[in-house]
A and B are shown apart, each in its own frame.
Chain A
């Protein structure tokens, strides 16, 4: 019983919140709202999956939100410049990948701690985004095919949910079912031992941080298509939310360790709480307070699990 609560306690708490909302929050359980919640989870979940990969290799990526914003303005700027949108999408993905790769190379080659590196690249990405836009958002000229990436539905289900499902499923498969995923985990848990066992730990860290950049690029394209605009700092809010989702995810399924299933559930809990608080008519500042409590609570839970494991 204790083991079950340790593994699934957060998910069960999330379920309890869900039940409370179904009972007390008007329209919460409607199909339209549940679809809405899943759609709202999509950007956060996609970004958080990438952050999870960085964290699996024991590296922090505090730049993913700013890299996402930069990729978004590159994508938007190219489309507004008359370049075919598929090329703009590829450019956004390239920006995300390059940002992640750069983080990885600086961390592993120049031996700069990832906290410092990614804080630096976040600032650089922010500066470039403002340089490209002059602070002005790209709005108002989008190809219908491009907008469909973020706004269309298949059988009534927003396409964003499919993108999220694909990224989460792929992330779970890579982290759990591939040799690379296992090597990344080994790198994150005992780097020296992994290196002695022949694992290319530096490469795993580069891959982890690059994956974080790639998902930032994917989220950027979907954000631009969904909001029909591209602005510097447009993904800024996802930094804290993304970290919260991953930390919350570390308290369940594989307690103390970053894991994709946990991250997805964490992102879902955050989206459900955000939606539920509005449906309950809670004041706006309560959302920030709840998010802060989640971050502190999940870190303390993860830390206590890790401490017990070490004993």
Chain B
């Protein structure tokens, strides 16, 4: 009896597995919160639809990312979604997927002729929102500190946009800038670099710009340890997420604003688009005409943070 039941269960599972749509997901660096948020959102949305999901991590390594995409192609998945990939570097793998007839959607990666499209926020617009908010908070004059990250396309663009904004607002000067280099121990890197800048400038700065929220959290803790209070220094960053919202709402934190990028929504949008194209057979143009499927990023500060908390 037990054997019969087990055999039937295996047969049912096999039958379902054989028929279920299978999506392969590769996050470029799962240890990065934003990458993980996208990958986890894709996994959850795909499972809701009853799909099989294989989530892979490239550990931030280019060769590993190429290998993971190649392995998914060999597995013969029905669709691939990549979180924070690099289309130029992996054009060979993207072309291989296209040749194998596997639809490929990227998230926050950049466009590729071999992908359907990239689910993206406009990083230039995001960078401008954060930069202008900071300048507004300090009254368009005074000194600021910046914490940058040049190895990532998105954070690099945000920094470049800040530079453009500053070039038009010459009463604001950058008193000191630290560029985070290490990816594995970046928190220590940010802490050491920003601590040095704070000591050098001994309180002679009105604002701090951080290229992503993780950096801002470290800086927020440093400022709090110095005894500074909300409003003493305008701390602005980008990415969003519950920790950022909690700090914006927290009177003890100095983080004033972030530009919330809807990573979960982007993951869900990628899955919905995959369903429409790969399962329902709709043309790609039914989702978006161009190489991007843009999502809105919203500036979150004390005035609207309640709408985002616990979302």
Point out residues on A near B: beta carbons under 8 Å.
26-27, 30, 32-33, 36, 39-40, 43, 130, 134-137, 139-140, 151, 223, 226-229, 231-238, 274-275, 278-279, 281, 283-285, 287-288
Contacts and interface: CB of A to CB of B under 8 A. Distances in A.
B71 A231 contact: no
15 contacts: A30-B74, A134-B150, A135-B150, A226-B92, A227-B66, A228-B88, A229-B62, A232-B151, A236-B60, A237-B59, A238-B63, A275-B67, A281-B75, A284-B27, A285-B57
Contacts of B76: 26-27
A43 B76 CA distance: 24
Given A40-B67, A134-B150, A278 B62 contact: no
A22 to B, nearest CB: 14
Contacts of B63: 43, 223, 226-227, 234-235, 237-238
Interface string B49-75: 000101111011111101110111011
Contacts of A229: 62, 86, 88-89
Contact of B54 (A151, A281, A285): A281
Contacts of B181: 130, 135
B70 A40 contact: yes
Contact of A274 (B55, B67, B86, B149): B67
Interface residues of B, number: 35
Interface in B60-105: 60-64, 66-68, 70-72, 74-76, 86, 88-92
B183 interface: yes
A278 B60 CA distance: 17
A284 B30 contact: yes
B72 A278 contact: yes
Nearest to A281: B54
Given A32-B74, A40-B67, 4 more contacts: A223-B63, A226-B92, A227-B63, A233-B60
Given A135-B151, A227-B62, A278 B68 contact: yes
B173 interface: no
A283 B68 CA distance: 12
Contacts of A226: 63, 66, 92
B229 to A, nearest CB: 34
Nearest to B52: A281
B75 A27 contact: yes
Contacts of A274: 67, 71
Nearest to B152: A135
B179 interface: yes
Contact of B55 (A151, A231, A284): A284
Contacts of B247: none
B156 interface: yes
A4 B30 CA distance: 42
Given A36-B70, A43-B63, A231-B62, A278 B54 contact: yes
Give the top 10 A-B pairs by smallest Cβ distance, nearest first. A237-B61, A135-B150, A278-B71, A135-B151, A229-B89, A284-B57, A33-B74, A139-B88, A284-B56, A234-B62
